[in-house]
Structure 1
Amino acid sequence: MDILNNSKPLKAVLVGVQLPRVSDEETQGSLAELSRLVTTLGYQVVGQTSQKRSSTKSATVLGDGKMKELASWTGGTGVVGPMVVKKKHKAALRFEKNQEEDDFEIEEDFEDVPEESEDLSLDSASEVPREKAQVVIFDCDLSPSQLRNLESATGAQVLDRTGVIIEIFSRHARTKAARLQVEIARLTYVAPRLRETAGGEDRGGGGIGGKGAGETSIELDRRKIRDRIKELKQELSAISQEHITRRSRRNQEISVALVGYTNAGKSSLMRALTGSEVLVADKLFATLDTTVRVLYPESRPKILISDTVGFIKKLPHDLVASFKSTLDEAANASLLLYVVDSSDPTFRSQLQVTKSVLDEVGASDLDSILVLNKVDRLSSEEREKLQQEYPDAIFLSAHNKEDVANLRLRLIKHFETAMIDEEILIPYDVQGAIGEIRAKMRVLSENYDNRGLTLTVRGHVQDIEKMRKKFGI
């Protein structure tokens, strides 16, 4: 994918494949999302096309007519050329050279007769594109052979949706864990798509005595990739162990995980709830690393808020697997906040995608609250309809301080429903109990007398029992 590193903005044409039982709206919505992904990479989208197909298993995915139409965007032939060129013996090459020289001497005696050119004109109903594209991007996964066939027919670089998403992830990964996770997914994606370079030769004879075929260059490259993936997984395993250790320390604390589709406003809400400097950007997958901060103003007991990686339709399975350690933050949360962009007409399907991915990591059965974000972009009629459809949801704008304050109170109230109120008498000679109680429980009242300090606290039953046992009170 070296073309992705080109500093010059490249022009891209998008291709959608509409399968049976997929509506026109879903196809166009998916293409619109792909356009945002491609724009995030810095490409300029100059056009798009789609075709209804029974499957994506054919050699070029598209039909012959649509292939020629696509080739008109890139200047290709629209026809798949030969993929394999057989090596010839030196004697055969000398014979062909001599034959060509003899044919040239004979042709000098004849007039040049122009060959009939192949008709590659578009259907009369199609328009010839004004701008040529250097990249063709399909809104589906392509096999290695399909990629080769399409590049041969279009004469352009061809990418699929998975390749685009992995490239975006690799650009946005900042922490060591995220970089390792993305690199594993990228190498897993690249390995089967390696192609033999021109002039690739066997690496000498194999076996004892030099008999047998040696390793080809592509086989050697794939072996190197497998070895590298193994190394990366070992590094990631060590880092994941550190994350598990940190997470175990926080297991006794209340935690809320913000989950949802990419660009739904999770990071903006995270910043508003915690007052922390979390990266906020209006682009897809701006956040890949889990960030954990304390709810501000701090409550008692304190509540931890974690921002997680965003999801998207057709999220590559390798990325889900690689980011499992990151998604475990959501799986171990006390509460999930499903954050959706209420102004996006497709947010219902986006919510379903989020739930499907969380189901893969075993986090779908946790307590959850639906947060409809960006309500400031809705009309009063749209908001009223959504309130009727989702009566238990929280409607807010992450930029509205009053909305964020109400969400904070809702979170505190949610966790307090599982707490009890109890009086605890702390004698004056008991040291350290007051500080620990204030850190883990909410103090409702306090009263001093000759016996000591009596606190009325609100907390979890298990925390109160541990406190009594630890300090003998």
Structure 2
Amino acid sequence: MDILNKSKLKAVLVGVQLPRVSDEETRGSLAELSRLVTTLGYEVVGQTSQKRNSTKSGTVLGDGKLKELASWTGGTGVIGPLVVKKKHKAALRFKNQDEDEADEFAAEEDDFAEVPEESEDLSLDADSDVPQEKAQVVIFDCDLSPSQLRNLESATGAQVLDRTGVIIEIFSRHARTKAARLQVEIARLTYVAPRLRETSGGEDRGGGGIGGKGAGETSVELDRRKIRDRIKELKHELAAISQEHITRRSRRNQEISVALVGYTNAGKSSLMRALTGSEVLVADKLFATLDTTVRVLYPESRPKILISDTVGFIKKLPHDLVASFKSTLDEAANASLLLYVVDSSDPTFRSQLQVTRAVLDEVGASDIDSLLVLNKVDRLSAEEREKLQQEYPEALFLSAHNKEDVANLRLRLIKHFETAMIDQELLIPYDVQGAIGEIRAKMRVLSENYDNRGVTLTIRAHIQDIEKIRTKFGI
């Protein structure tokens, strides 16, 4: 499926409000879709919505709303003939029969010619204003079936996309590493396969069956088979890369790790940069980060703490993307601590937090220790901040751009891990080589004292790490 690649095309957004979905949730979802579309470089010229019982009808919308939508794009508002029926080769042998009788043998592979009966139109948007300039793209804030896509394109005369298509396109543009590109390509092909369309003039690719009898493979069937084969190749290649990630992660298993998780554009990358001093990508865009980045907390602590930035989440995140990015999300599943980073200035952050928890539960990371970080508090009023502090007394309030706030978070992380450590004295004889260096590298040295026996270090560390040092150096 060729998703639009031209910049600054004009788009109109369409929301469908289902039962038990509030007006506020619908507006918030459309606002988020607007940001997604803007991230792709399109210009949003307007939006409309309609209450419906379901999204199962042939055009999703009612007849009146469909015609209104068509006025934004210059379409007719009426579904035209979508498929030109071709007669099967067997039907061509009945030359002397009536044309209607021969049509009984026509090979009608496409099941989208019939438009399902529409559900009751609950309400029309009275606030919709038809823009002065026409839109070339219509984008729905829900998933559309192949038949719905065809019906809507026929009625509007414009290209129609759904929310999943937009998200996958953003992922495709932002993928940087080989692993991320493979993961996105798998999700894209999985999305494209059922939406392949028969091109005009397409013929059977050859006879089928023994002796060449029967219909051959159509172009769509052949293309779908090629896609299935390609997905299989990509998964095999991704599995090899994932094994490398597992090996690399296993080397870090003995180290403390903190994963930044949360909604897209919550400020995870900005916080990552502030905590580690690294030059990670920071951009005011949705899904600016798709690849997991691991850096050491700076200034470096003893034992050192690894900080990892992960892909952001979003409502209605396509399941195929969650599955494809499982290897990336495993970084969170194997972390010692999760930092749930939310944009406290976003009025919908509570539902965003629910989305984050749901996705992490899907990858088996729900039982890991966590700390809630309410980011971007510099955008809150004093009254708003006070209310949130009462609602989330255990949360840490900060701005990733405030050095003092970041320093407090660093101390909070160190303190969190030190609660499971013990203080103990170790006597290191002068003739034991390498022990002091390894202790300084992996443990926190509280004090040291020199006498004629050797060096006595008071250290703070996990009991299992202390035992490893004792066994390794015989002290």
Query: What is the TM-score of this pair, normalised by structure 1?
Result: 0.92
1:82 deviation in Å?
2.0
Equivalent pairs: percent with the same residue?
Answer: 92
- Shift of the 452–148 alpha-carbon distance from structure 1 to 2, 3 Å rule, reads same
- Shift of the 163–433 alpha-carbon distance from structure 1 to 2, 3 Å rule, reads same
1:210 deviation in Å?
1.7
- Shift of the 120–249 alpha-carbon distance from structure 1 to 2, 3 Å rule, reads closer
1:84 deviation in Å?
2.1
Distance in 1, Cα, partners of 2:26 & 2:465:
52
Residues 347-399 of structure 1 deviation map (CA, whole Å, 9 limit, x = unaligned)? 11111110000000010111111111111111111111111111111111101
Mapped contact 2:54–2:119 kept (Cα < 8 A):
no
- SS of equivalent residue, structure 2 residue 460: strand
- SS of equivalent residue, structure 2 residue 401: coil
Distance in 2, Cα, partners of 1:342 & 1:278:
22
Which is worse superposed, 124-133 or 80-89? 124-133
- Shift of the 40–124 alpha-carbon distance from structure 1 to 2, 3 Å rule, reads closer
Distance in 1, Cα, partners of 2:113 & 2:174:
62
- Shift of the 391–113 alpha-carbon distance from structure 1 to 2, 3 Å rule, reads closer
Mapped contact 1:257–1:337 kept (Cα < 8 A):
yes
- Shift of the 99–5 alpha-carbon distance from structure 1 to 2, 3 Å rule, reads farther
Mapped contact 1:13–1:137 kept (Cα < 8 A):
yes
Residues 241-279 of structure 1 deviation map (CA, whole Å, 9 limit, x = unaligned)? 000000000000000000000000000000000000000
Distance in 2, Cα, partners of 1:464 & 1:271:
32
- SS of equivalent residue, structure 1 residue 384: helix
Please name the residue that 1:55 is paired with. Answer: 54
- Shift of the 193–367 alpha-carbon distance from structure 1 to 2, 3 Å rule, reads same
Which is worse superposed, 199-208 or 358-367? 199-208
Mapped contact 2:83–2:110 kept (Cα < 8 A):
no
1:87 deviation in Å?
2.5
Distance in 2, Cα, partners of 1:112 & 1:71:
20
- SS of equivalent residue, structure 1 residue 222: helix
Please name the residue that 1:388 is paired with. Answer: 390
Query: What is the TM-score of this pair, normalised by structure 2?
Result: 0.92
Distance in 2, Cα, partners of 1:282 & 1:111:
43
Distance in 1, Cα, partners of 2:230 & 2:111:
62
Please name the residue that 2:97 is paired with. Answer: 99
- Shift of the 346–107 alpha-carbon distance from structure 1 to 2, 3 Å rule, reads closer
Which is worse superposed, 237-246 or 428-437? 428-437
Residues 50-73 of structure 1 deviation map (CA, whole Å, 9 limit, x = unaligned)? 011111111111111111111111
- Shift of the 244–113 alpha-carbon distance from structure 1 to 2, 3 Å rule, reads closer
- SS of equivalent residue, structure 2 residue 98: helix
- SS of equivalent residue, structure 2 residue 259: strand
Mapped contact 1:81–1:152 kept (Cα < 8 A):
yes
- SS of equivalent residue, structure 2 residue 128: coil
Please name the residue that 1:23 is paired with. Answer: 22
Distance in 2, Cα, partners of 1:232 & 1:202:
28
Mapped contact 1:122–1:128 kept (Cα < 8 A):
no
- Shift of the 428–226 alpha-carbon distance from structure 1 to 2, 3 Å rule, reads same
Distance in 1, Cα, partners of 2:118 & 2:433:
99
Distance in 2, Cα, partners of 1:139 & 1:88:
38
- Shift of the 118–161 alpha-carbon distance from structure 1 to 2, 3 Å rule, reads closer
- Shift of the 329–205 alpha-carbon distance from structure 1 to 2, 3 Å rule, reads same
Residues 14-70 of structure 1 deviation map (CA, whole Å, 9 limit, x = unaligned)? 000000100000000000000000000001001111011111111111111111111
Distance in 2, Cα, partners of 1:415 & 1:167:
40
- Shift of the 213–294 alpha-carbon distance from structure 1 to 2, 3 Å rule, reads same
- Shift of the 98–46 alpha-carbon distance from structure 1 to 2, 3 Å rule, reads farther
Mapped contact 2:257–2:336 kept (Cα < 8 A):
yes
Could you tell me which runs of 5 or more consecutive residues in structure 1 were left unpaired when the two chains were aligned.
Answer: none
- Shift of the 123–265 alpha-carbon distance from structure 1 to 2, 3 Å rule, reads closer
Which is worse superposed, 125-134 or 172-181? 125-134
- Shift of the 430–80 alpha-carbon distance from structure 1 to 2, 3 Å rule, reads same
Residues 442-470 of structure 1 deviation map (CA, whole Å, 9 limit, x = unaligned)? 00001111111110000001100111111
Which is worse superposed, 241-250 or 423-432? 423-432
Distance in 1, Cα, partners of 2:112 & 2:384:
78
Please name the residue that 2:7 is paired with. Answer: 7
2:426 to 424, 430, 436: 424
Distance in 1, Cα, partners of 2:349 & 2:100:
71
- Shift of the 15–114 alpha-carbon distance from structure 1 to 2, 3 Å rule, reads closer
- SS of equivalent residue, structure 2 residue 86: coil
Mapped contact 2:58–2:116 kept (Cα < 8 A):
no
- Shift of the 417–134 alpha-carbon distance from structure 1 to 2, 3 Å rule, reads same
1:102 deviation in Å?
22
- SS of equivalent residue, structure 2 residue 97: helix
- SS of equivalent residue, structure 2 residue 123: coil
- Shift of the 117–214 alpha-carbon distance from structure 1 to 2, 3 Å rule, reads closer
Mapped contact 2:179–2:238 kept (Cα < 8 A):
yes
Distance in 1, Cα, partners of 2:114 & 2:463:
98
Which consecutive aligned stretches of 4+ in structure 1 deviate over 2 angstroms post-superposition?
87-95, 97-103, 106-129
- Shift of the 107–247 alpha-carbon distance from structure 1 to 2, 3 Å rule, reads closer
Distance in 2, Cα, partners of 1:460 & 1:60:
61
Residues 72-124 of structure 1 deviation map (CA, whole Å, 9 limit, x = unaligned)? 111111111222212359999999x9999999xx9999999999999999999
Residues 399-455 of structure 1 deviation map (CA, whole Å, 9 limit, x = unaligned)? 111110111000000000000000011111111111111111100001111111110
1:211 deviation in Å?
1.7
Residues 256-314 of structure 1 deviation map (CA, whole Å, 9 limit, x = unaligned)? 00000000000000000000000000000000000000000000000000000000000
1:209 deviation in Å?
2.5
Mapped contact 1:77–1:120 kept (Cα < 8 A):
no
- Shift of the 324–186 alpha-carbon distance from structure 1 to 2, 3 Å rule, reads same
- Shift of the 273–121 alpha-carbon distance from structure 1 to 2, 3 Å rule, reads closer
Tell me the number of residue pairs that the alignment of Structure 1 and Structure 2 aligns: 469
1:128 deviation in Å?
3.9
- Find the structure with the greater CA-based Rg: 1
- SS of equivalent residue, structure 1 residue 107: coil
- Shift of the 99–371 alpha-carbon distance from structure 1 to 2, 3 Å rule, reads same
Distance in 1, Cα, partners of 2:36 & 2:272:
23
Mapped contact 1:68–1:122 kept (Cα < 8 A):
no
Distance in 2, Cα, partners of 1:380 & 1:415:
32
Mapped contact 1:279–1:287 kept (Cα < 8 A):
yes
- Shift of the 431–87 alpha-carbon distance from structure 1 to 2, 3 Å rule, reads same
Distance in 2, Cα, partners of 1:111 & 1:175:
42
